[in-house]
Amino acid sequence: MTHHDFTMPITEAQARSLRVNDTVTLEGTLFGIRDANQIALFDKGRKTRFDMRGHAAIHTAPNVRKVAPSPRHPAGYEPICVGTTTSARMERFTRPMLKELGARLIIGKGGLGKGSLDAFAESGGAYLAIIGGTAALETTWVEAIEDVDLDDLNPESLWKFRVRGFGPLLVAMDSHGASLYDDVDRAARARRDETLAKLGVKPA
Amino acid sequence: MKVDPKQVEEVARELYVRALKILPPDIKQGFSRLAAGETDATAKKVLGTMIANIKVAEDTENLLCQDTGIPIYNVTIGSGVQVDGVELQAAIRRGCERATREHPLRSSVVHPITRRNEHTSCGPGVPPIHIDFAGGERLLIEMVPKGSGSENNSWLKMAIPAEGVNAIKAFVVDCVLDAGGKTCPPTIVGVGIGGTSDLCVALAKRAATRPLGTSCPDPEGAALEKSLTEAVNTLGVGPQGLGGDSTSFAVHVEIAATHITMNPVAVNMQCHSARRASASITPAGVEYGF
């Protein structure tokens, strides 16, 4: 269980050094991805001008206020509440995020599936768990919205955040085939029949 | 008492913002109870972060969660209340739109086919406004922002009488297993039993959004709540699906009579950010609560 302080972007070796139960705190750039912008990028062939190689992307669509662009709010957006959404809906986009756009870390809540775990192993990446539903706290780690792309999809635009002390986040899936979600799921399902027996239900 | 739609609009606006920022006291107590009993080291940390977030939201007057949800309004009209129902619905809708624009809040509501977001938190049929009636000279409006992480984990099973109550128990346990960490546990597991298919789902939602510490008025339903709460918390799913004892604050059950050939069960979950706010409008004025 090692703690890693990463200033983004990172190398493949850094991504592969992560093991489940390690913790990570991020500095610098963080991209915000979501259902609509990933559908646009990977199903509808739209392009982004953002270079995500070596970067982290979080499953989010923030609450923002439109303001005049300024050094503090270069994209003309003030972050109000930046939180994290359920990752599972975006399972099939992990592979192209890593392979096509070069991202290394996916941040989300609730975990991803086998396709993503394989993609982390193939490309060198990891899934970092943030605590879902704790957006007020998460917002205090966000310094600014630096840039925005595909903004016609607002609030599901492609966001570029500048973050400071973003974490600690828990490495929940790594590039060595380990997933805390799989471990918990297997153990919980193994308790199913015993749990039902206590409720007077015999296994079918 | 005659109710001015302007006042209803103001209350509907205020309720949406309040619900997103202040967690009800029964949920805070639920967190304290779970944290005190949790034995898993990771789960303890996860619960600690959730509890810290409640305070940060209050201190910074920020939203607890980024998900502004689907806004739901539950209205109870007292027999001594005079109000134009059409105007009431329009006023609630305007209040919901204003909260979204004026705060501003992320509009999480889109057209289901075009996926177009009008940035109003409103659309065809949304916000759902449920109307009920009671005695007294009081208009009660409850607001529930229902987050999608939990709402995407909703199930209906039209079981049959031959499967009995065991089908209901097994279904609830399997839904909790399938939900894993996706529903942002610890959850309130809402279970609807009986009715028609639509009523069964509505009962599950009512159960999921009921305050902690309340129980099903039906004694058989209340007994099921107790045994199912204990059962789901032995599975080890834990907060955020990362393992631990604190999978659910409680299982809540609501029941309705059903057909001799039917045995329907529905499950709807509420996430740990179990937000709701209410306002009581009486001749004395408006009083906000949970």
Residue B191's pLDDT is 98
Q: What is the pLDDT of residue B180?
A: 97
With contacts defined as CB-CB under 8 Å, which chain B residues touch A34?
none
What confidence score (pLDDT) does residue A203 get?
75
The pLDDT of residue A2: 97
Residues near B39 by Cβ (< 8 Å), separated by ≥ 6? B244, B245
Assign residue A107 a region: left if phi > 0, alpha if psi is -120 to 50, beta otherwise? beta
Report the candidate in A64, A60, A62, A109 with the shortest Cα–Cα distance to residue A88: A109
**Quick one: pLDDT at residue B82?**
97
Residue A204 pLDDT exceeds 90:
no
Q: Please give the share of chain B, as a percent, with pLDDT higher than 90.
A: 100
pLDDT band per the 50, 70, 90 thresholds, residue B235: very high
Q: Is the pLDDT of residue A51 over 80?
A: yes
Could A63 and B63 be called an inter-chain contact, meaning their C-beta atoms sit closer than 8 Å? yes
CA-nearest residue to B58 within chain A is A136
Q: What residue spans define the domains of chain B?
A: 5-20+64-147+274-289, 149-270
pLDDT at A134: 97
What tokens appear for B177 in the block?
A: 């297993």
- Over residues A159-178, the mean pLDDT reads 98
Instruction: Tally Cβ neighbours within 10 Å of residue B212.
Output: 18
Instruction: For chain B, say whether A38 makes contact (Cβ under 8 Å).
Output: no
Q: What angle do CA A78, A72, A60 make, to 5 degrees?
A: 40
Contact call for residues B44 and B35 (beta carbons, < 8 A): yes
Q: What is the pLDDT of residue B63?
A: 98
- pLDDT (tens digit per residue) in B164-199: 999 999 999 999 999 999 999 999 999 999 999 999
Of B42, B107, B184, the CB nearest to A132: B184
**For the residues B57-77, what does the mean pLDDT come to?**
98
CB within 8 Å: A109 and B184: yes
Q: The domain B5-20+64-147+274-289: what is its CATH number?
A: 3.30.1330
Nearest to B234 among A89, A111, A195 (CB): A195
**How much of chain B, in percent, has pLDDT values that exceed 70?**
100
Other beta carbons within 10 Å of B90: 14
**The predicted structure's pLDDT at residue B289:** 98
Average pLDDT over chain B reads 98
Chain centre to alpha carbon of residue A14: 17
* Preferred mutation among B20, B49, B65, B102 to probe A, highest tally of A CBs within 10 A: B65
What confidence tens digit (pLDDT) does each residue in A59-83 have?
999 999 999 999 999 999 999 999 9
Report the pLDDT value the prediction gives residue B160, as an integer from 0 to 100.
98
- Surface of A (177-196) touching B: CB under 8 A: 180-181, 183-185, 187-189, 191-192, 195-196
Task: Yes or no: say if A107 and A179 are a contact pair by the CB < 8 Å rule.
Answer: no
Distance from CA of B55 to the nearest CA of A (A): 9
Residues of B in contact with A159 (CB under 8 A): none
The amino acid occupying position B270 is Q
Which pLDDT value is given to residue A122? 98
Domains identified in chain A and CATH numbers: 3-198 (3.20.130.10)
Distance from CA of B284 to the nearest CA of A (A): 35
